[in-house]
């Protein structure tokens, strides 16, 4: 008898943001391999009879290598078991799903991907701002802080534009380095920024600032997400909000002139 692997998105942390399908699989899986950042309230939904493995990686510390995770997925599935690989947010966005799907294909293992609410959507919802806006931002770019600050060269001139929203997952602590690169690419220091920590959880924190002031922003606890762009000033009803629609459109015009 052959089993199956389900790559499931656990969402940002609030169990009510799980999809109906994800919840059903959490309750019916034989084996659960979950990431470190899957919220405890989500893990509490797993029945006590399920075989559970924490295979997470956090702050550079690994409980298990990616190769070992791949071998576990294959081994359990070959025993005829239903295996859920549970990942925070959406499994296809910075969740190493590509490596695991490749390993499963090579082993001839059947698998299915169950999307989840990604951190960028949860952070934007928490801050009450759109990631796109037909007046301000027609493009959305997902980045990870593990790669965008010098470790792998980024063509910022090809990424930054006046109508782009940048959603930086795992921004880390080197805000100064990121600001230097974005500023060199022509992004205005007045560009609004929002840092959201622990989106959709009781520990949620939100800090609003601008690009030039971002290096002085408090280091909010991980997991955090950084949103950069004109849309980050869209919540004009809060006192922390920076600017308004007219000033953002003016900033876009200034950027265009620089380009």
**Distance, CA of 47 to CA of 75 (rounded, Å):** 22
Instruction: Report cis status (omega within 30 of 0) of the bond before 223.
Output: yes
- SS3 label, residue 67: helix
Told to judge if 35 belongs to the known catalytic residues of this protein, a careful annotator would answer: yes
Locate the DSSP E strands across 150-200: 164-169, 192-197
8 Å CB contact between 222 and 172: no
User: Tokens 């389900």 identify what position?
Assistant: 6
Residues 144-181: b if buried by 16+ CB within 10 A, e if exposed = bbeebbeeeebebeebbbbbbbbbbbbbbeebeebbeb
Per the DSSP assignment, residues forming a β-bridge with 123 are none
**Distance, CA of 87 to CA of 15 (rounded, Å):** 13
Question: Active site residue: 4, 21, 41, 57, which one?
Answer: 57
- SS3 label, residue 126: helix
Told to judge if 170 belongs to the known catalytic residues of this protein, a careful annotator would answer: yes
Question: Active site residue: 32, 101, 170, 248, which one?
Answer: 170
Q: Among all residues, which ones are annotated catalytic?
A: 35, 57, 170
């Amino acid at each position: 008898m052959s089993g199956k692997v389900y790559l499931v998105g656990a969402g940002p942390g609030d169990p009510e943001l799980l999809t109906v399908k994800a919840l059903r699989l959490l309750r019916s899986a034989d084996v659960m391999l979950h990431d470190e950042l899957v919220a405890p309230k989500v893990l509490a939904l797993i029945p006590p009879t399920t075989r559970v493995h924490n295979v997470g990686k956090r702050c550079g510390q690994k409980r298990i290598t990616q190769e070992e995770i791949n071998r576990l997925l294959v081994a359990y599935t070959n025993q005829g078991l239903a295996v859920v690989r549970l990942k925070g947010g959406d499994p296809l966005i910075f969740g190493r799903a590509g490596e695991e799907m490749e390993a499963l294909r090579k082993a001839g293992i059947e698998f299915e991907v169950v999307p989840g609410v990604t951190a960028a959507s949860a952070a934007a919802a928490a801050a009450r701002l759109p990631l796109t806006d037909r007046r301000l931002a027609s493009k959305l770019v997902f980045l990870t802080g593990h790669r965008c600050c010098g470790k792998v060269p980024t063509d910022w001139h090809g990424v930054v534009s006046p109508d782009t929203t940048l959603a930086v997952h795992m921004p880390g602590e080197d805000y100064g380095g990121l600001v230097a690169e974005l500023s060199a690419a022509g992004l205005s220091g007045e560009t609004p920024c929002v840092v959201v920590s622990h989106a959709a959880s009781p520990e949620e924190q939100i800090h609003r600032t601008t690009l030039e002031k971002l290096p002085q922003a408090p280091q909010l606890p991980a997991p955090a997400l950084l949103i950069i762009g004109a849309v980050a000033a869209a919540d004009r009803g809060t006192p922390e909000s920076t600017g308004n629609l007219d000033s953002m459109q003016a900033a876009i015009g200034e950027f265009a002139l620089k380009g």
